Amino acid sequence: MLSLFILAPLFLLLVLNLPVNFVRKAAFVLASILLILQVFLALFYPLLPWGAYRDFLGLFFVFNLAIDSLTLIMLLTIGIVAFVSLVVARNTIAEAWQRFYFINLLLICVIGMNTIVLARDIFSLYVFIEITSVSSYILISLDRNNKAAIEGTFKYFILSAIATIFILLAIAFFLLAAGDLSFGAIHKAFYNPGNDLILKIASSLFLCGLLIKSGVAPFHGWVADAYCAAPACVSVLLAGIVTKVAGVYVLLRLFGSVFVLSPALQNIFLFIGAFSIVLAALAALTQDDFKRMLAYSSISQIGYIVLALGCATPLAFAGAVFHFFNHAIFKSLLFVNSAVLEKQFGSTDMNKLAGFGPKPGLTNFTSLMGLFSTAGIPPLSGFWSKLIIIIALLGSGRWVYAAAALLASVLTLAYFLSFQRRVFFIKTGSPMSAQSTLEPAGKVPFGLRVLEISLGIITVLAGVGLIFVYNHWLPPRGAIF
C-alpha cells in the first residue's frame, strides 16, 4: 500500500511520456486525479483495510518504508499544495508544451517528496532530497528567457551543492558509528558512549546541510531570488511544500525522533529559529514586491518550526507539525493571490499596483485571511499553532524566545497590513497611485478564484477545528521506527 504513493506518480510519469497524443492532452486531468487520490488516501488511510499488503508491496524497494501520523500529515500537505500548483500552472502558463513539461517535473518532485516522508533510512532520505532539489532547479528556470530565474536557480544550486557535501559527510560518519543507515540503528548508536564524538560531528554536519536546504537565516540567501523570479505555479510549490519537505520535515523527523538532541543542539535550534523569525520579518518590512515579501515571510515562519524543535517538548513538537501544515496552506493562498494580481495587472510590484485605486473583492478578502493567519490572529489556524509553540516555550522557561516569537507576529501583521493598504486601499489620484504605469492585463481565470476560496476555507476550518486536529492528527514526539 505504501509503495503506491511512489509507484502511482512514477507510472503516470511513464504513461504521459508515451508517444500517444491524446494521453499528453489529458496530462492535467490525469495528474489532478492522482493528487486528489493522494489527499483522499492520506485523510482516510487509518480507516482503509489495506495494512496487510504493506510489507508485500514494500518488497519492490531496497529501502524501508513506514507510515505514522507525521507521515500522513506530510502526504496530505504534499497532495494539497501540488494540486494547487498544478491548477495555477493550468491558468497561468500559456504554452501547452511548457505546461506539459511542468506536469512532468511536478510528478518527479512529488515522487521525491513522497519517498522522503516514507523512507526510514538516512541514505534513501538523501537520494530523494536530491531528486526533489534537482527537479526544483529546473522548475525555477522553466522560462529560459527569464534571466532573474536563471540567477535564482544558480544561487539555489550552489548553496544546495554545499548542503549536499555536508549531508554526505554526515552519512559517512553515521555509517562509521552505527554500521547501518536505518533510523533504528542510528538511534541506538546514540546510546553507545564510544560514539559520542563521531555522532556529534555527524549531527552537526547534517544540521548545517538541512538548514541550508530549509532556507532559514543565515542560510537564506537563495530563497527570495528563487521564489520571486520563479513562475507563479513554481513559487506556490517551492514556498508551500518543497523546501519544507526537503529541509524542515527532515529536521523534524531526525532531530525529533532519531537523533538525541543535546542541550547544545537545542540552544542552536532556539537561536537560529528566533534569529530567522526576527531578521526575515524585518527584511519583509522593506520589500516593494509582493512575492519577495512572501519569500521573507516564509523564512520567518519556518523559524517558528525550528524554534519549536529546539524547545524539544511534546507540546512544542505538536505545534511545529501543526504550523508546518498551516504555513503550507496560508502561504499557498497568498502566492495564489500574487498569481491573481499578476494575471490581472501584470505585476506584483506594490507601488505599481497602488495606481489602480481600491480593489474590493475576493482577492482582498482572501489575502486578509492569509495575512491574519500568518500573523497569528484568532480564530484562524496560524494563531493556534503559534500559540501552542509560545505556550511550550513559556512552559520550558524560554521566556526570551517566547517574547521574540510574539514580537515577530506583530512585525508580520505590520508588513502585511502595509501590503493590504498599498495594494487594495490606496485611492486613485493619491501620490502613491501616481507611481503606477501599469494597465490591466486581463481577467482572473475561474480556477484561481476556486483556489482562493478553497484555501481560505481550509485555513478557517483548521483553526475552528483545533480540538479535532490536535487529538486526531498531531503526532506526539516519540519513536517512529
Sign of CA dihedral 207, 249, 280, 232: positive
Burial degree of 443 (CB within 10 A; 0-12, 13-18, 19+):
exposed
Instruction: Give the integer Cα–Cα distance in Å for 337 and 366.
Output: 8
pLDDT at 1: 67
Q: Can you give the residue range of the structural domain that contains 347? A: 261-481
CA-to-CA dists, residue 19 to 14, 25, 30, 102, 143, angstroms: 10, 12, 16, 18, 24
Structural domain contains residue 463: yes
Structural domain contains residue 460: yes
Structural domain contains residue 333: yes
Bin 346: left if φ > 0, else alpha if -120 < ψ < 50, else beta. Answer: left
Q: How many domains does the chain have?
A: 1
pLDDT at 56: 45
Instruction: Give the integer Cα–Cα distance in Å for 185 and 469.
Output: 32
116 and 110 Cβ atoms separated by less than 8 Å: no
pLDDT at 469: 58
pTM above 0.85, yes or no: yes
Report which of 267, 268, 262 is spatially closest to residue 196, judged by C-alpha positions.
Answer: 262
Q: Which residues fall within 8 angstroms of residue 184, CB to CB, at 6 or more apart? A: 120, 481
Structural domain contains residue 339: yes
Report which of 376, 381, 426 is spatially closest to residue 405, judged by C-alpha positions.
Answer: 376
Could you give the 3-state DSSP secondary structure of residue 182?
strand
Report which of 125, 1, 107, 11 is spatially closest to residue 57, judged by C-alpha positions.
Answer: 1
Element (H, E) at 198: helix 196-214
Q: One digit per residue, pLDDT tens: the chain, 481 residues?
A: 677 888 888 888 898 888 877 878 888 899 999 999 999 888 887 766 654 444 444 445 556 777 888 888 899 999 999 999 999 988 888 787 788 889 999 999 999 999 999 888 888 888 899 999 888 888 887 777 777 778 778 888 888 888 899 999 999 998 888 888 888 888 888 888 777 788 888 888 888 888 888 878 787 777 777 777 788 888 888 888 888 888 888 888 888 788 877 888 888 889 998 898 988 888 888 888 888 888 888 888 888 998 988 888 888 888 888 888 888 988 899 888 888 888 877 777 777 777 555 555 777 788 888 888 888 888 888 888 888 899 988 888 888 888 888 888 888 888 888 887 877 776 544 544 444 455 555 677 788 888 888 888 888 888 776 666 555 555 554 433 3
Structural domain contains residue 347: yes
Structural domain contains residue 197: no
pLDDT at 155: 82
Structural domain contains residue 147: no
Q: Which residue has the cell 516519540?
A: 478
Structural domain contains residue 164: no
Instruction: Give the integer Cα–Cα distance in Å for 12 and 440.
Output: 38
